Structure 1
Amino acid sequence: MNLYPKEIEVKLSFDKVKEIIGAYCLGPLGERFVDRLTYSTQADKINEWLNQTREFVYILTSGEGFPNANYEDVTPFLKQAEVPGSFLDVEELYEIKGVLETLSKVHAFFESRTEAYPVLSQRLGSVRVDGHLLAAMQSKIDEKGELHDDASPELMRIRASIAKCQVRARTAVNKILKQAGDHGYTPDGATLTIRDGRLVIPVLAEHKRHVRGFVHDESATGQTVFLEPAEALEINNELRELRYAERREIIRILTALTDLVRMHQEDIGRGLRMLGVLDFIQAKARFAQAFDCICPQVSHTQKIEWKQARHPILEQALQEQGRSIKALDIVLSSQERILLVSGPNAGGKSVCLKTIGLIQYMVQCGVPVSVDEESKFGIFDSMFLDIGDEQSIENDLSTYSSHLTNMKFFLEHTTSKTLFLIDEFGTGTEPQFGGAIAEVVLLELAKSKAYGAITTHYGNLKKLADQVNGIVNAAMKYDVKHLEPLYELEIGKPGSSFALEIAGKIGLDKRMLDKAKKKAGVSHVQFDRLLSELEAEKNAIEKQKKEIAAKDRRLNEAIKDYEDLKRFLDKKKTEVLKEAKLEAARVIEASNRRVESTIKQIQESKADKKRVQAAREQLTAHKDKLSTEAQKEKTKAPVAVVDPVIAIGDKVKIKASGAAGEVVAIKGKQLELTLGGLTSRVKLKDVEKISSKEFKKTTDDRVQQMTGIDLNAKMAHFNMTLDIRGVRAEEAIGKVEDYIDEALLLGHPEVRILHGKGHGVLRELVRNVLRENRKVVQATDEHVERGGTGITVVTLED
């Protein structure tokens, strides 16, 4: 491992990160581990640290009530107890008792949750406290840090005697005080008081000889003396002896407890170290919650694939100013190892550089990092920085010499596992020489296969990045129309310094700008303008591509719906024709039987006119019946079409809740559906098939269906918070969709969904439903003091 320079943590603001984590510690035990945070190159160890922190984040979000008291450092007390025959006072033993109780609670917590928190249980759950030691402590010392009256039979007897003695003494002294008061020997409003542990009464100095007793003190003016009555002297002496006996018994009890502590000193020491580690882990978990950080898995390779990376210290500073930070997407791979960042001054180049350095340093110290969950991390054996944190009026030679010294160190020690960061590459001397030297150094760094990021204004380096494999141009975006930096990183093209445009914005004379353009050369000015025009055209083309892709998706869905419908109709047509043919054959067969029966009757009656007439009437009646049935079939209401056969990939709707999902598996009479990102199992009879187009309908269609309602009544009864705690997944989806539709209809820009913390399943379900709604602008956690991850704050389109 090789870090350069020595003050790398200060340059990256990692010292401030440690300060924040230290502030989250519950005691000095955890703070010591924060001070010992170190940069590691062992991926397995880093992953173990991050896994521990990730599990503790789950503990905090679950609200399971982790023991968070008595993380005090009692090491000095343990050292005092090392001397045989010595004893700790009751306050010191009380602190040790609190630590032992915390250790016991921690052990019980992890012992009952081994499966939920396997990493922490393996690391911390094995440390336990001797039950006899803790029981002895609890039986002697109460919750206020005082010895129980029954800490021993002798102490109980002594304290009972003290209580009786005090009653006797107070009774006797009160009697004398009343008598003295009746004679006018005491000041007005005189009451009992204590001097040197003995009950006394205030007596006016001129009457002190009228009351038998002993003077223990007098007032500042000398007008009042505090006198112990002779009648209470014997009782007070007895009380003092009892106090001495109580003290001797207390020392005996404390000595016995100290001996027990001495016997278990090593176990208590191990427990203290465990509490320190635990306090350190919980502090990192609270940091992760406060700064919306994740605990990623780190691979053994060298790579940076970050999405929405944020510099936590800068983000905190901007939030205090009421501003938000712009997150960066940063990629360094084996094909594009060196990022050459260009763009205008104050456009965010240095912030980009420090963000890369700080986040990589944090993750290799096992600290959660502020990036999106899809980000991927590797490790680097060494990290080199050439970043100036302040501008000074030092001479250029001194500044440039410093840069060259750093470059010399980089070239001598850089390997393929190095991450280097260089700010304002090549500055400090004449541009033609500084640019040339910077170009040579960059080529050497590229040959070493190292990874890094460089900020520069030099055009020759931008051209070099387009020609050399492994180096890629990147630009900090700039709004050319409004001449304002956007603080967004775009990889793949160089950026312009926009020097002339910025000069014009601040009011520099136009004639001077025209002269500057001529000095710079027409080609260079046109090149910068061309970059801006290409950027605008690129954005327009990307927008058109997205619109075309969306239309293609809708067209494909419509074609699929049409093909599904055609197959269904063809199948029904075949079934109807088959059924009609069978019915026709049945009717013909029945008619033939009727005709044959009639002929037979006629033959048997030998052409009897009455029998023939009757047979003809029967045939006519049968004919009329068939005609009537046929007419009824024509006028009968069409038979309801049953749902077509449901297959994997079809879209269906749950009849009860109205929630829509996609079939992913069929098991007998049950279906497995994806609902809002979760898989749920429902019965086949409880769903009906729908088209892809109907499945896509969300907010707009629902709002259009809400007709004929009293908007004033809806507005009056609308609740700004939807509570779905304890609701089943299928029902929750329907509730959330209906609630968002109603909020949009009533014009509410922001609402809250109360789903609770738990294990985060319902929270993730809600977030997935909200992501699919085009009217939802943002879905974030509530402030930690108002519910944190248990409540989702939803921002809607105006």
Structure 2
Amino acid sequence: MIYPQNFEQKIGFDQIRQLLQEKCLSPLGEERVADMDFSDRFEVVEERLNQLTEFVRIIQEEESFPDQFFFDVRPSLKRVRIEGLYMDEQELFDLRRSLETIRDIVRFLQRKEEDEESDSPYPNLRKLAGDIAVFPQLITKIDGILNKYGKIKDNASTELARLRRELASTISGISRSLNGILRSAQSEGYVDKDVTPTMRDGRLVIPVAPGLKRKIKGIVHDESASGKTVFIEPAEVVEANNRVRELEGEERREIIRILTEFSNTLRPSIDDILQSYEFLAEIDFIRAKSYFAIQTNGLKPALENEQLLDWTMAVHPLLQLSLAKHGKKVVPLDIELNTKQRILIISGPNAGGKSVCLKTVGLLQYMLQCGMLIPMHERSHAGIFGSIFIDIGDEQSIEDDLSTYSSHLTNMKMMMKGCDERSLILIDEFGGGTEPQIGGAIAEAVLKRFNEKQTFGVITTHYQNLKHFAEDHEGVVNGAMLYDRHVMQALFQLQIGNPGSSFAVEIARKIGLPEDVIADASEIVGSEYISADKYLQDIVRDKRYWEGKRQTIRQREKLMEETIARYEAEVEELHKSRKEIIRQAKDEAQHLLQESNAKIENTIRTIKEAQADKEKTRQVRQELTDFKESVEKRGVKEQEDRVAQQMEKLRRRQERKASSTPTKAGEKKAEAPIKPKVITIKEGSYVKMKGQTTVGEVLEVKGKNATVAFGSIKTTMKLDRLDPTSGTPQKQEIAKSTFVSSQTQDQMYEKKLNFRQDIDVRGMRGEEALQAITYFIDDAILVGMGRVRILHGTGTGILRKLIRQYLETVSGIKSFNDEHVQFGGSGITVVDLA
């Protein structure tokens, strides 16, 4: 139920209908827009919104959707139901092209996803096209009658071909005869040299001056408007022209016969064809709504089968389009109605946006339940209401003898009678139009009835008693349209939780009302009221301040948690690197052992084959000894080099992270490696690897080797590869090798705040897209993002395949999958980062 009758006009939906009709391709869609209605059935609304979401994807991602020929031939089809009537050439041509469009649309929607065995990527539109008949035989039959320009073909029938051949031959003979007569007349001087035969009343004639008309025997058919020229049909071609007229009549009768015969063939299928045109009308309607959704950034919120309003960044579409023409933007609306806060009482200054807020709620909810996408953030939730009532504006009527207040009371009576727990009521200036004291009392009593019926609603008011009612009754909540009293300017932002001030004194002072008048008014209303209003303003101001602080703290806490998680991940990576080094060392040792065994066996075999030749045996034993020494040296050196390489990689990675942002002018660069000094290295000493800055502690010294702990990594190294530090290092010095500077942290924080989690590579070439994604993923890993989205579109699937092949090679990626179907499906890849 929608109340009152001019509901659409009050919220501006009549303008929405007009904009939609302008986007339709034919009267087919325009009729659907005119018949568009409000539905309170969740399944119907859900299906309509899904169809729109899919068609928006088609518009944005597909290039081959067939929408060229949307013709409304229903009147012609209904006319030829009568025996003997037929469609003319143009109607038949429109029928052929529109039937082809219907066929191509059905094929498009019923096709399967490329390179996959799944059903159509547009299941809701496919369902809409499921039982729609196409008529390839009719298209073929029309092609046998009409040429590509929509004219009857010469070979449409044998008789028509004969008639047109004879007609062409007769006209050619007439032209030859006329040209001969004209040349003779020109030579005699009866006709000017530049005159040519012309057509009058369908007959070929010669233009002649009136004074010379008797020089040429024939029939005068016409004269020019000035009277200076007469048009004569020579007697020699009269019979031929008569024959042309006869042939043209026969040709027309044959064409009518062909069209009538086709209409007889068409007649049994007219009902099915009309049903197919209803499908074409629905596609035109959906297309218009989709283009409007793209124009206004409309989307489908999370739809719930209950009464709910949980909108984030909702925008009034008409206001958005109007302000966009002047380069301005709408202040978005955040609003929530649920079972605990069903009725929202909005207060605040005049011209502060209360009525716009009310109309935004009414228009967007009505659009949603009419099956339209609405402009708001994708994380919004919306419910379904069984009825919507609105009371806004001045409805006084001279004919019905209704005052402004009487009309408001009439609306209140209808609302109380018709509302229930599934209703949404929208009332502007509740209780206005009469003496404030009794008007506020009646408004409070009506509000009480609404609350008892557990209805939902948005109500604007200036009455203090309604603000107090909201504070004292469960289910009703106060809201305020914010106002900056320092610059005396409305912010057009809704804040739920506290009532708003009217700022009457401040506004009066701003417009220049004398101070003595303001003082008298303050004295009349009482200091208690003025103080309460001031306290209310202070509460709103403080709440805004602390809300901003809370948001800042929340962002910093999130950043700190992500930083801790990143460092923990790096420590884990160090542990894994250490295990990997040990594993590689063991594998190398096993390989050396196998090589040594093979060498020993080969030596024994050589000695046996030499049959105890002393010189040969000594030579083989020397080779074995040399091999043993080389293995020992190589094993130790390779293990040391491998550890050094791993530590060098870890150091360079830390340096890249720290140097990703410029250093302060006053910061010192890392000191150059200190040359080895003759200082004894012993257990407990602090040392550095040559060329490195990482400090480690010596755990044990054995001969020329030392076991050193670098953080959580222990390794054995030659003493000559270590440099002792000068004295015991402070904790701060060790920390500097691990953590970045405060400026780097601030710049990383700023970089993360400005980082966008989405990238759009549609339309790019493969190499160009991969390069953009490479930089994007590197930045995402650098700032510690947990999830990013890559918008590549569906298309042929090649770009999607290239991108995923690249993602498989990136070590910092945990997983990647298609986006949820309602947010883009296979056209978007969601990447979870490690």
TM-score normalized with structure 2 length: 0.71
Q: Distance in 1 between matches of 2:444 and 2:342?
A: 16
What is the DSSP-based 3-state SS (H/G/I as helix, E as strand, rest coil) of the residue aligned with 2:645? coil
- Separation of aligned partners in 2, 1:631 and 1:131: 82
Residue 221 of structure 2: which of 216, 234, 243 is its match? 216
Q: Which residue of 2 aligns with 1:404?
A: 409
AA aligned opposite 1:32: E
The answer as to 2:279 corresponding to 1:239 is: no
CA contact (8 A) 2:397 2:403 kept: no
Residues 1:552 and 1:142: Cα distance change in structure 2 (over 3 Å): same
The one of 734, 747, 752 aligned to 2:774:
734
| Aligned residue type for 1:162 | L
Distance 1:504 1:67 in 2: 63
- How far, CA to CA, are the matches of 1:275 and 1:117 in structure 2? 17
- How far is the alpha carbon of 1:703 from its aligned partner? 12
- Are positions 1:325 and 2:324 aligned together? no
Judge conservation of contact 2:559–2:749 (CA < 8 Å) in 1: no
Partner amino acid for 1:358?
L
Return the offset for 1:306.
0.9
Contact 2:500 2:537 survives alignment (8 Å):
no
Is the Cα contact below 8 Å between 1:41 and 1:364 reproduced in 2?
yes
Counterparts of 2:129 and 2:641, CA distance in 1: 77
Alpha-carbon offset, residue 652 of structure 1? 13
In the alignment, is residue 195 of structure 1 matched against residue 200 of structure 2? yes
How far does residue 524 in structure 1 lie from its aligned partner after superposition? 2.1
User: What is the distance in 2 between the residues matched to 1:371 and 1:761?
Assistant: 32
Shift of 1:361: 1.1
Q: What residue in structure 2 maps to residue 724 of structure 1? A: 764
Aligned equivalent of 2:706? none
Moved more, 329-338 or 258-267: 258-267
Q: Identify if the C-alpha distance between structure 1 residues 146 and 493 changes in structure 2 by more than 3 Å, giving closer, same or farther.
A: same
Q: Which residue of 2 aligns with 1:335?
A: 340
Find the residue that maps to 2:390 and give its secondary structure. strand
Residue 442 of structure 1: how far off its partner (Å):
1.2
d(CA) in 1 for partners of 2:226, 2:580: 120
Please give the alpha-carbon distance, in whole angstroms, between the structure 1 residues aligned to 2:506 and 2:798.
51
Alpha-carbon shift at residue 396 of structure 1 (Å): 13
1:103-123 alpha-carbon deviations (Å, 9 max, x no partner): 222222223255111111121
- Deviations along 1:588-628, whole A, 9 cap, x unmatched? xxxxxxxxxxxxxxxxxxxxxxxxxxxxxxxxx9xx99999
Q: 1:146 to 1:639 in 2, by over 3 A?
A: same
After superposition, what is the alpha-carbon deviation per residue over 1:49-102, rounded to whole angstroms, capped at 9, x for unaligned? 111222111111123332223322222212321222233322222222232222
> Distance in 2 between the 1:761 and 1:20 partners?
37
In the TM superposition, residue 259 of structure 1 has moved relative to its aligned partner by 1.1
- 1:414-493 matches, within 5 Å, as 414-493=419-498
Cα RMSD of the aligned pairs, angstroms, is 4.4
Asked if structure 1 preserves the Cα contact closer than 8 Å seen for 2:347 and 2:502, the reply is: yes
Deviation at 1:169, TM superposition (A): 1.4
Matched residues in 2 for 1:761 and 1:356: separation?
43
Q: Counterpart in 1 of 2:287?
A: 282
**CA 1:252 to 1:494, structure 2 compared with 1: closer, same or farther past 3 Å?**
same
Whole-Å separation in 2 of the counterparts to 1:699 and 1:756: 36
Equivalent residue in structure 1 for 2:144, among 139, 162, 169: 139
Say which of 251, 254, 262 aligns to 2:256: 251
Q: Which residue of 2 aligns with 1:677?
A: none
How much has 1:638 moved relative to structure 2?
Answer: 6.3
In structure 1, what residue type is equivalent to 2:3? Y
- Alpha-carbon separation, structure 1, partners of 2:270 and 2:745: 66
Cα separation, 2, equivalents of 1:305 and 1:483: 30
- The CA distance in 2 between the partners of 1:568 and 1:100, in whole Å, is 64
| Local SS of the residue matching 1:477 | strand
Work out whether residues 581 and 642 of structure 2, in 8 Å CA contact, stay in contact via their aligned partners in 1: no
Which stretch shows the higher mean deviation, 518-527 or 31-40?
Answer: 518-527
Secondary structure of the structure 2 residue equivalent to 1:322: coil
- Which residue number in structure 1 is paired with residue 176 of structure 2? 171
- Offset of 1:692 from its aligned partner? 11
Secondary structure of the structure 1 residue equivalent to 2:646: coil
Q: Is the 8 A contact 1:722 1:739 kept in 2?
A: no
- Alpha carbons of structure 1 residues 692 and 139: separation in structure 2 relative to 1, 3 Å: farther
Measure, in 2, the Cα distance between the counterparts of 1:327 and 1:36: 30
Please give the alpha-carbon distance, in whole angstroms, between the structure 2 residues aligned to 1:449 and 1:38: 26
Consecutive unaligned residues of structure 1, counting only runs of 5 or more, are 587-620, 646-650, 659-690, 705-720, 741-752, 767-789, 791-798
Q: Which amino acid aligns with 2:106?
A: H
Distance in structure 1 (CA, Å) of the matches to 2:160 and 2:580: 99
Tell me if the contact between 1:387 and 1:423 (Cα under 8 Å) persists in the aligned partners: yes
Confirm or deny: 8 A CA contact 2:396 2:403 kept in the other structure: no
The 2-side partners of 1:37 and 1:628 are apart by 87
Q: Which residue of 1 aligns with 2:97?
A: 98
- Which residue of 164, 167, 171 corresponds with 1:159? 164
Q: Distance in 1 between matches of 2:80 and 2:445?
A: 66
The whole-number CA distance in structure 1 between the counterparts of 2:23 and 2:578 is 72
> Counterparts of 1:397 and 1:90 in 2: how far apart (Å)?
59
Q: Which sections of structure 2, spanning at least 5 residues, go unmatched?
A: 113-118, 593-625, 661-737, 752-760, 781-789, 804-826, 828-834
* Contact 1:557/1:692 (<8 A) preserved: no
**1:403 to partner: Cα distance:** 1.8
Aligned partners of 1:16 and 1:636: how far apart in 2?
77
The AA in structure 2 aligned to 1:33 is R
**Match 1:352 to one of 357, 372, 378:** 357
Q: In structure 1, what is the equivalent of residue 58 of structure 2? A: 59
Mapped partners of 1:265, 1:652: distance in 2:
76
1:516 maps to 2:521? yes
Look up the equivalent residue of 2:70 and give its one-letter code.
Answer: Y
Q: Identify the residue that residue 674 of structure 1 maps to in structure 2.
A: none
Paired residues of 2:395 and 2:407 also in contact (CA < 8 A): no
1:82 aligned residue: 81
| Distance (Å, rounded) in 1 between the aligned partners of 2:399 and 2:516 | 33
Conserved 8 A contact 1:61-1:757: no
Shift of 1:462: 0.9
Name which of structure 1's ranges 165-174 and 518-527 shifts more when overlaid on structure 2.
Answer: 518-527
Aligned match of 2:34: 35
Query: Is 2:296 the counterpart of 1:291?
Result: yes
CA-CA distance at 1:412 after TM superposition: 2.3
Q: CA deviation at 1:481?
A: 0.7
- Aligned twin of 1:598: none
- Give the one of 366, 383, 388 matched to 2:388: 383
Residue type of the alignment partner of 1:191: T
Amino acid in the other structure paired with 1:267: D
8 Å CA contact 2:396–2:407 kept in 1: the answer is no
- Matched residue SS, 1:640: helix
Structure 2 match to 1:648: none
Aligned position for 2:503: 498
Secondary structure of the corresponding residue to residue 338 of structure 1: strand
Cα distance in 1 between the residues matched to 2:54 and 2:640: 69
Letter in 2 for 1:734: T
Partner of 1:13: 12
**SS in structure 1 at match of 2:389:** strand
Rounded Cα–Cα distance in structure 2 between residues aligned with 1:407 and 1:309: 28
Do the aligned residues in 2 keep the contact of 1:22 with 1:31 (CA within 8 Å)? Answer: yes
Aligned equivalent of 1:541? 546
What count of residue pairs does the alignment treat as equivalent?
Answer: 660
Which residue in 1 is equivalent to 2:375? 370
Rate the CA distance shift 1:86–1:101 in 2: closer, same or farther, 3 A: same
Kept in 2, the 8 Å contact 1:300–1:379? The answer is yes
Cα 1:699–1:540 change in 2 (3 A) is closer
Summarize deviations over 1:450-499 as a string: whole Å, max 9, x none. 10011011111111111110001000010111010011111111100001
Of the structure 1 ranges 376-385 and 565-574, higher mean CA displacement relative to structure 2 is found in 565-574
| Alignment match, 1:507 | 512
CA contact (8 A) 2:40 2:386 kept: yes
Structure 1 counterpart of 2:703: none
With normalisation by structure 1, the TM-score equals 0.74
Question: Secondary structure of the equivalent of 1:421?
Answer: strand
1:446 counterpart letter in structure 2: N
